[in-house]
């Protein structure tokens, strides 16, 4: 597995959570909600594009909506490789953090 | 319906369109629309727009990081492809590369020269605060500028104006004899200066102390080359050099040779008082004898200060028409000249040459554009494939720009070779000593890398736009793409190239005919077969030497005539003061030249006597007799001026005994003939000898022997008067020479382009030619068909170039008081020459095409 950047991980996870309604703005909202930190729209495209180039995400055209000025949504979906990557990330994270909860932070 | 819902600002859409292909564009536009509408609802229109703006910037920044990585990967691919395509099309490649290399080499040569000219006098530490004080003399109908200022001026300035930090006088001694033991030479670059000279100007010292070197009245500072010449490898400090066999100087300082970008050129420096020994008046306010340089306090505005001192001379000399003005040191070389210290000097040449350099580079760029678009068909399949695979327009544009810049850099590798080849000739023309190492100065490095970058971008821009607009479906189906548009543009480019070449050609021809005219102009005196010997100083001793020399040499049958004069005919006369004729003060109306000559002057130089007679020994010493020129005679009045009296300087009353035809008193390239007074006086500086034209070598040998007999302590040096006159035009001649070479280069580059283009045109029409021949066309018909296009271009180039060069050259010629008039034949002949060269170039290919056997050309497929 190629290591992903933290923002890529969040995006990947958000796409999985959104299940079929993942497009740039909804992904943004999702991440903001999870992290509690306001993400900017300008920051979303690069991780999306990088994930797509790594073939973890697939992009497809959705239906046009009036909010978008009659333009189509472009939806994202995990590929099998993306699914696999997400699993591995979880694994790695858990291994890395294993035992930490037992230690007191202060 | 949904168009009405669009609310995103237009600029966002336009901005995205620049960067993104259609599908990505749709996504982003959609996102922004939604984002923007959400923002408007929450925060209002202004905040929404502002935030959108920051988001766009953010996208741009984060994406450019990503694309940098990809473009680097693609960059490698572009260079590989460029390299392959260069290798595959050897003729095109060599034509393009050699054309670009030539253009760049020429441009770099010019740049080195231009930077050198612009660097004049800037190496002095205080360059910005040093000024030269010069004079403006007001006459009723003209203003004359002179460098010289009265001797006491410098002292006065320093005493009365606290704004002045330093002030020095500088004067040239003229040619002097110097000797050390048995070494004896004439030296002409000797400055006499006030002691602060080296404190003001930072010429680098090797030995001695800058502050005190000139404190001693017999001190001397010399340049390295002089030290080598007289003392070889010995230490020059403390050595004694003798001037004019009389004055001893002790060397107290050694400086580096004065760099060529200094307007003050000298080999030796001695204290200013030395000029008094030469008999110069240093304390008179009505005699301008020295250059005055001042260094102002840094805070002083020199324009204001100039107004303060403008009328200073008037305080000391009531009758004066002199107004003082200041010239910044860094502008002296570029913005003043010998006859006009306040005008345009070399800067004109800097402009002209820079323009030439740029024109050549443009011709080379056009060549590149032309060739690249001409063979666009070869690349069309590649472009089609790239587009099908996923390249967008921006990618293709980037690819061809990279390719053009790559080729430009490849050409740059050839440039040093060309420059090395051209340098000796170039140095000779412009009288400099540039070496390849001069191309590595900081400023030049910028130019060296800037040029190919510029060339690549300029010449790659059109091909990139043109090629990137190909539609993959069409090019891959192999329907022909070279539309009318492309071919018109190519012809347009050739047209521009040819017009530039033609303008340069006409300009060269005109300049050469002007040089020819100046050199062969009837000067009013005969300059051929006249030998001049400088004496260096007008004193009794030299007068005796001259008399003895004249008596001895006149016996020789080889010698026609011998005479002498106070001044040299290439710069004749000093301005007379207080010339009064029948109550009129002539010198207030205009400058009047006066000089002393010996018997036979008019005869030796073959000047025509119009009225009266020439000076003659029959009439004794001729004391009180004057000869004037025609110009002065007309000023004096309509009736004959013979036997009338001129009062000069209040003490010399002269009777006019003759009027001579006007002859040139200085270079015919910058002045009309002014009024002149000649009187007889044995105070002389130059000897003139008219020799018989055959076997001049043996005559010279004879003269040298005689000279050694009469003046063994003076070196024998001589010049030919006609050569000295020709040297006056060296500036114009340099311009002509450089222009000539650049015309050839521009023409050559244009021909390279024509050659490749004709090959391309003939190649494209192979089948058409075959069919025409089968149907009965003759070779002549085909040749005409193929050459016709090029003929049209040449004719049109003439139409464009003639009026432009007519206007340009007319205004150039107007700088000369005496000049040729433009003739139609210059234009017609230049046009014909261009036509001829074009036809020869083009015919290589067209002939080959028209002789091809149609069975060969039609057998394809």
Substitution target from A40, A48, A60, A68 for chain B, most B beta carbons within 10 A: A68
Alpha carbon distance, N-terminus to C-terminus of chain B: 55
B240 is a domain residue: yes
- CA–CA separation, B827 and B224 (whole Å): 51
Q: pLDDT digit string (tens) for B631-679?
A: 888 888 867 778 888 888 777 788 899 999 988 877 777 677 888 888 8
**Predicted complex ipTM exceeds 0.90:** no
Share of chain B above pLDDT 90, in %: 19
Helices (H), B521-672: 540-553, 586-589, 601-604, 630-636
Reading the block at residue B168, the tokens are: 């020095």
Asked whether residue B77 carries a pLDDT value surpassing 70, the answer given is yes
Sign of CA dihedral B80, B81, B82, B86: positive
* Cα dihedral value B107, B112, B113, B115, nearest 10: 110
**What's the pLDDT score for residue B277?**
77
Which structural domain, as residue segments, surrounds residue B626? 536-713
- CA–CA separation, B637 and B584 (whole Å): 11
Domain count across chain B:
4
Q: Are B566 and B679 in contact (CB under 8 A)?
A: no
Q: In terms of domains, do B485 and B568 share one?
A: no
- CA–CA separation, B336 and B383 (whole Å): 57
Q: In terms of domains, do B55 and B139 share one?
A: no
Quickly state the pLDDT bin for B314 (edges 50, 70, 90).
Answer: confident
Q: In terms of domains, do B370 and B408 share one?
A: yes
B132 is a domain residue: yes
Q: In terms of domains, do B337 and B352 share one?
A: no
**What's the pLDDT score for residue B2?**
41
Residue with structure tokens 């544009």? B397
Domain boundaries, chain A: 6-93
Q: Are B764 and B774 in contact (CB under 8 A)?
A: no
- pTM for the full predicted model: 0.73
Q: In terms of domains, do B830 and B740 share one?
A: yes
The shortest CB-CB distance from A40 to any of B8, B33, B58 is to B58
Query: Which span out of B246-260, B272-286, B672-686, B742-756 was modeled with the highest average pLDDT?
Result: B246-260
Asked whether residue B158 carries a pLDDT value surpassing 50, the answer given is yes
B110 is a domain residue: no
**What's the pLDDT score for residue B7?**
66
Which region among B457-471, B565-579, B715-729 has the lowest average model confidence (pLDDT)?
Answer: B565-579
Q: Are B337 and B145 in contact (CB under 8 A)?
A: no
Share of chain B above pLDDT 70, in %: 95
**Right CATH for A6-93 from 2.70.98.10, 1.10.10.10, 2.60.40.3950, 2.60.40.60:** 1.10.10.10
Asked whether residue B805 carries a pLDDT value surpassing 60, the answer given is yes
HEC letters along B219-271: EEEEEHHHHHHHHCCCCCCCCEEEECCCEEEEEEEEECCCCCCCCCCCCEEEE
**What's the pLDDT score for residue B344?**
62
Quickly state the pLDDT bin for B31 (edges 50, 70, 90).
Answer: confident
Contacts 24+ apart (CB under 8 A), B707-716: B707/B533, B707/B549, B709/B552, B710/B545, B710/B548, B710/B549, B710/B552, B711/B545, B711/B549, B713/B177, B713/B184, B713/B245, B714/B177, B714/B535, B714/B536, B714/B545, B715/B177, B715/B184, B715/B185, B715/B186, B716/B533
Q: pLDDT digit string (tens) for B121-133?
A: 999 999 999 999 9
Q: In terms of domains, do B551 and B614 share one?
A: yes
**What's the pLDDT score for residue B26?**
81
E strand or H helix at B160, and its extent?
helix B153-160
Q: Are B591 and B674 in contact (CB under 8 A)?
A: yes
* Residues 6+ positions from B305 with CB-CB distance below 8 Å: B161, B163, B296, B326
B527 is a domain residue: no
The shortest CB-CB distance from B34 to any of A25, A43, A45 is to A25
DSSP state of B861: -
Q: In terms of domains, do B373 and B481 share one?
A: yes
Contacts of A66 in chain B (CB under 8 A): 2, 5
Domain boundary among B322, B341, B360: B341
Q: pLDDT digit string (tens) for B326-353?
A: 989 988 888 876 556 555 678 888 888 8
Contacts of A32 in chain B (CB under 8 A): none
B441 vs B309, higher pLDDT? B309
Domain boundary among B285, B320, B341: B341
**What's the pLDDT score for residue B4?**
41
Residue with structure tokens 């001829």? B836
Residue of chain B minimizing CA distance to A45: B59
Contact A45 B56 (CB under 8 A): no
Q: In terms of domains, do B695 and B832 share one?
A: no
Q: pLDDT digit string (tens) for B181-192?
A: 888 888 888 999
B79 is a domain residue: no
- CA–CA separation, A23 and B35 (whole Å): 12
E strand or H helix at B756, and its extent?
helix B730-764
Q: Residue length, chain B?
A: 861
Asked whether residue B860 carries a pLDDT value surpassing 90, the answer given is no
Residue of chain A minimizing CA distance to B53: A42
Segments in chain A below pLDDT 70: 1-3, 99-106
Measured CB to CB, residues of chain B less than 8 Å from chain A are 1-3, 5-8, 23, 26-35, 37, 54-59, 62-63, 65-66
Query: In whole angstroms, how far apart are CA B243 and each of B178, B193, B230, B238, B687?
Result: 5, 16, 13, 16, 21
Contact B55 A45 (CB under 8 A): no
Query: Which span out of B226-235, B455-464, B571-580, B629-638 was modeled with the highest average pLDDT?
Result: B226-235
The shortest CB-CB distance from A71 to any of B1, B29, B59 is to B29
Quickly state the pLDDT bin for B509 (edges 50, 70, 90).
Answer: very high
The shortest CB-CB distance from A46 to any of B29, B55, B62 is to B62
The shortest CB-CB distance from B55 to any of A40, A61, A69 is to A40
Q: In terms of domains, do B319 and B452 share one?
A: no
Q: In terms of domains, do B679 and B759 share one?
A: no
Q: Are B280 and B250 in contact (CB under 8 A)?
A: no
Q: Residue length, chain A?
A: 106
B818 is a domain residue: yes
Domain boundary among B292, B315, B341: B341
Contacts of B32 in chain A (CB under 8 A): 41
Contact A71 B57 (CB under 8 A): no
Contact A66 B57 (CB under 8 A): no
- CA–CA separation, A26 and A41 (whole Å): 10
Q: In terms of domains, do B499 and B604 share one?
A: no
Query: Which span out of B16-25, B312-321, B469-478, B571-580 was modeled with the highest average pLDDT?
Result: B312-321
Asked whether residue B851 carries a pLDDT value surpassing 60, the answer given is yes
**What's the pLDDT score for residue B6?**
53
B97 is a domain residue: no
Q: In terms of domains, do B478 and B540 share one?
A: no
The shortest CB-CB distance from B34 to any of A46, A61, A68 is to A68
Chain B closest-CA separation from residue A81 CA (Å): 22
- Average pLDDT over all residues of chain B: 84
Asked whether residue B366 carries a pLDDT value surpassing 50, the answer given is yes
Chain B closest-CA separation from residue A64 CA (Å): 9
**What's the pLDDT score for residue B3?**
41
Reading the block at residue B455, the tokens are: 């060339």
B839 is a domain residue: yes
């Amino acid at each position: 597995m190629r290591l992903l950047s933290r923002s890529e991980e969040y995006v990947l996870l958000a796409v999985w959570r959104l299940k079929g309604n993942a497009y740039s703005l909804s992904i943004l909202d999702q991440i903001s909600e999870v992290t509690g930190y306001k993400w900017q729209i300008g920051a979303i495209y690069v991780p999306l594009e990088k994930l797509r180039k790594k073939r973890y995400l697939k992009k497809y055209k959705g239906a046009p909506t009036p909010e978008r000025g009659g333009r189509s949504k472009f939806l994202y979906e995990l590929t099998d490789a993306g699914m696999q990557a997400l699993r591995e990330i979880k694994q790695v994270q858990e291994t890395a953090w294993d035992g930490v909860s037992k230690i007191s932070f202060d | 319906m949904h168009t009405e819902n669009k609310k995103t600002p237009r600029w966002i859409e336009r901005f995205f369109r620049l960067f993104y292909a259609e599908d990505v564009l749709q996504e982003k536009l959609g996102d922004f629309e939604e984002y923007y509408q959400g923002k408007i609802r929450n925060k209002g229109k202004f905040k929404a727009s502002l935030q959108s703006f920051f988001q766009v910037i953010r996208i741009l920044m984060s994406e450019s990081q990503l694309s940098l990585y990809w473009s680097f990967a693609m960059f490698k691919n572009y260079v590989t492809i460029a390299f392959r395509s260069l290798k595959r099309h050897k003729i095109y490649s060599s034509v393009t590369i050699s054309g670009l290399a030539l253009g760049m080499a020429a441009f770099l040569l010019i740049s080195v020269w231009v930077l050198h000219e612009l660097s004049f006098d800037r190496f002095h530490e205080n360059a910005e605060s040093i000024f030269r004080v010069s004079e403006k003399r007001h006459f009723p109908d003209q203003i004359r500028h002179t460098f010289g200022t009265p001797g006491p001026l410098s002292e006065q300035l320093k005493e009365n104006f606290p704004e002045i930090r330093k002030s020095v006088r500088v004067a040239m001694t003229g040619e002097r004899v110097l000797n050390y033991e048995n070494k004896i030479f004439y030296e002409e670059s000797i400055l006499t200066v006030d002691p602060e000279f080296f404190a003001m100007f930072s010429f680098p010292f090797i030995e001695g102390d800058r502050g005190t070197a000139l404190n001693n009245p017999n001190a001397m500072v010399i340049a390295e080359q002089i030290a080598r010449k007289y003392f070889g490898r010995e230490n020059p400090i403390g050595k004694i050099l003798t001037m004019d066999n009389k004055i001893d100087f002790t060397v107290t300082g050694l400086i580096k040779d004065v760099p060529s970008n200094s307007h003050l050129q000298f080999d030796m420096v001695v204290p200013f008082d030395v000029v008094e020994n030469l008999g110069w008046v240093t304390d008179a306010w009505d005699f301008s004898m020295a250059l005055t340089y001042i260094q102002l306090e840094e805070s002083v505005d020199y324009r204001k200060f100039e107004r303060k001192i403008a009328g200073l001379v008037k305080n000391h000399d009531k009758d004066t028409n002199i107004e003082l003005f200041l010239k910044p040191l860094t502008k002296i070389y570029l913005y003043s000249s010998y006859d006009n210290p306040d005008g345009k000097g070399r800067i004109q040449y800097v402009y002209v040459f820079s323009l030439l350099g740029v024109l050549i580079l443009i011709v080379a760029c056009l060549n590149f554009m032309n060739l690249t678009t001409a063979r666009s068909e070869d690349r069309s399949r590649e472009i089609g494939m790239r587009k099908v695979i996923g390249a967008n327009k921006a990618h293709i544009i980037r690819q061809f720009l990279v390719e053009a810049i790559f080729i430009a850099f490849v050409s740059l590798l050839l440039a040093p070779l060309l420059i090395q080849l051209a340098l000796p000739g170039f140095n000779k023309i412009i009288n400099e000593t540039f070496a390849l190492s001069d191309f590595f100065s900081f400023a030049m490095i910028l130019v060296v890398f800037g040029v190919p970058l510029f060339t690549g971008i300029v010449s790659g821009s059109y091909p990139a736009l043109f090629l990137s607009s190909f539609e993959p479906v069409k090019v891959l189906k192999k329907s022909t793409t070279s539309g009318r548009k492309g071919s018109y543009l190519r012809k347009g480019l050739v047209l521009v190239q040819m017009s530039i070449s033609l303008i340069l050609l006409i300009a060269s021809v005109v300049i050469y005919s002007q040089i020819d005219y100046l050199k062969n102009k009837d000067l009013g005196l005969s300059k051929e077969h006249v030998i001049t010997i400088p004496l260096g100083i007008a004193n009794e001793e030299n007068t005796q030497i001259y008399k003895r020399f004249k008596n001895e040499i006149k016996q020789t049958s080889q010698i026609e005539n011998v005479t002498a004069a106070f001044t040299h005919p290439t710069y004749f006369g000093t301005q007379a003061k207080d010339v009064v004729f029948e109550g009129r003060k002539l010198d207030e109306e205009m400058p009047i030249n006066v000089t002393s000559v010996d018997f036979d002057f008019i005869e030796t130089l073959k000047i025509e006597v119009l009225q009266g007679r020439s000076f003659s020994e029959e009439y004794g010493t001729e004391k009180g007799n004057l000869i004037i020129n025609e110009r002065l005679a007309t000023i004096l009045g309509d009736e004959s001026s013979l036997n009338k009296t001129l009062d000069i300087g209040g003490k010399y009353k002269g009777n006019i005994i003759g009027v001579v035809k006007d002859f040139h008193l200085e270079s015919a390239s910058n002045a009309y003939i002014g009024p002149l007074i000649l009187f007889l006086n044995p105070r002389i500086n130059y000897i003139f000898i008219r020799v018989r034209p055959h076997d001049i070598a043996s005559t010279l040998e004879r003269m040298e022997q005689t000279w050694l007999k009469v003046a063994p302590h003076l070196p024998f040096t001589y010049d030919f008067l006609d050569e000295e006159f020709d040297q006056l035009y060296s500036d114009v001649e340099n311009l002509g020479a450089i222009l000539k070479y650049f015309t050839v280069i521009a023409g050559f580059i244009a021909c390279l382009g024509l050659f490749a283009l004709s090959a391309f045109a003939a190649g494209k029409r192979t089948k058409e030619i075959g069919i025409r021949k089968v149907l009965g066309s003759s070779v002549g018909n085909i040749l005409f068909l193929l050459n016709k296009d090029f003929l049209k271009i040449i004719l049109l180039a003439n139409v464009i170039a003639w009026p432009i060069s007519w206007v340009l050259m007319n205004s150039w010629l107007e700088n000369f008081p005496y000049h040729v008039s433009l003739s139609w034949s210059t234009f017609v002949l230049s046009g014909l020459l261009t036509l001829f060269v074009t036809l020869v170039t083009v015919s290589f290919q067209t002939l080959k095409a028209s002789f091809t056997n149609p069975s060969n050309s039609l057998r394809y497929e």
